Amino acid sequence: MNEELTRKFSDFVDVVIRLRKECPWDSVQTHESLSQLLIEETYEALDAIEKQDFPDLKKELGDILLHVVLHAVIAEENGRFTLPGLLDAITEKLITRHPHIFSDTTAETVSEVKQNWEALKLKEGRTSVLQGVPDALPALLQAYRIQEKVASVGFDWDDRAKVWEKVEEEIRELKQVPAGNQAELEAELGDVLFSLVNYARHCQISPEGALSRTNKKFKRRFQHVETRMKESGMDWKTTSLDQMDLFWDEAKGLGL
C-alpha cells in the first residue's frame, strides 16, 4: 500500500509540475491569484460533507490537494520552500504536538489533548494562544475559534446557564442603545453575536453550520412564496405582508 501510494503521489506531483511548465493558465498563477480559488474549493468540500455526497467529496478533496501541491511548486520556484520540506514540517509538527502518542505524555480526553496542543505552541515561540486564529476567517467562525482557543487554557464558563445569562445581558445592553448611535449599536450588536456564538459552542453546535442551515431553510420558504405569488398573479408592490405571510406559513406547513 505504501509503495502504491508513493508512486501515485509522485505521478500526481509530476503532472502538476508539467502543467506549471506547459499550461498557459497554470504557468502564470501565483499564491495570490490562487488564494480565493483555494477558499472556494474548501467550501465546495464542506458542501459535499454536509450533503453526505462522498463521490463529490472525493473530487473536491482532490481539488484541494491540487492547490496544496501547486502552491508548493510555486514556492519552490521562488526559493521559499519545497514540497518535501513541507511534508517534513507537517510530519514533525504532528509528532511534536502529539506527545501522548509519540512520547510519554498522558492525554486521555479531547480537552487534555487541546490543552497540551496549546501549551506546546506557546513553547514553540507563540506569545498568545490567539496567535493562530487567522484574521481572514469569516467573523462567525473566527469568534468560535477565539472562544475555543481561550477555553483550551481554562478561560471559560463551566455552566451553560451562565453563558446564556451573558447573552441576555448583551441583549439588554443592545436594547438600551439610543436611537441614531450607530457606532454603539454596532458594538453592542457585535457583543450579542459573540455571546450567541459562545452559547452555541457550549451546546456543541457549530454556529456556522446552524446559520447555514437557517439560510437554506429561509431560501426554500421564500422561493415557495415567490412561486405562490406568481401562481396567484400577485404583484410584490401591491400585495400585503400579511398575504405573503400566509404563503410563508404554507411553506412551513409543507415542511420546507
Give per-residue pLDDT as tens, 140-158.
Answer: 999 999 999 899 888 999 9
Cα separation, 243 vs 230, whole angstroms: 13
Q: Is 177 left (phi over 0), alpha (psi -120 to 50) or beta?
A: beta
- How confident is the model over 44-100, as pLDDT tens digits? 998 899 889 999 999 999 999 999 999 999 999 999 999 999 999 999 999 988 998
Phi, psi of 97 (to 5 degrees): -80, -5
Residue labelled with grid coordinates 497554470: 26
Q: Answer yes or no: are the C-beta atoms of 74 and 30 closer than 8 Å.
A: yes
Q: What is the mean pLDDT of residues 193-220?
A: 94
Q: Which residue in this structure is represented by grid cell 480559488?
A: 37
Output the nine-digit C-alpha cell for 19: 502543467
Q: How far is CA 3 from CA 12, 13, 88, in A?
A: 14, 15, 18
Distance CA 28, CA 34 (A): 10
DSSP 8-state class, residue 120: H
Instruction: Return the biggest CA–CA distance within the chain.
Output: 73
Q: Give, in order, the Cα–Cα distances in Å from 240 to each of 125, 236, 250.
A: 61, 8, 16
Could you tell me which residues come within 8 angstroms of residue 160 by beta carbon, excluding any fewer than 6 positions away? Answer: 199, 202, 203
* Global pTM value: 0.69
Neighbours of 171 (CB within 10 A): 16
The letter for the amino acid at 59 is K
Residues above pLDDT 70, as percent of the chain? 100
Give percent of the chain with pLDDT exceeding 90: 73
Contacts of 73 (CB under 8 A, 6+ apart): 13, 16, 17, 20, 83
pLDDT band at 1 (very low <50, low <70, confident <90, very high): low
Residue 2: pLDDT band (50, 70, 90) is confident
**8 A C-beta contact, residue 30 and residue 78:** no
Q: Are 60 and 44 in contact (CB under 8 A)?
A: yes
Q: Output 114-119 pairs: Cβ under 8 A, ≥24 positions apart.
A: 114/152, 115/152, 115/153, 117/152, 118/149, 118/152, 118/153, 119/153
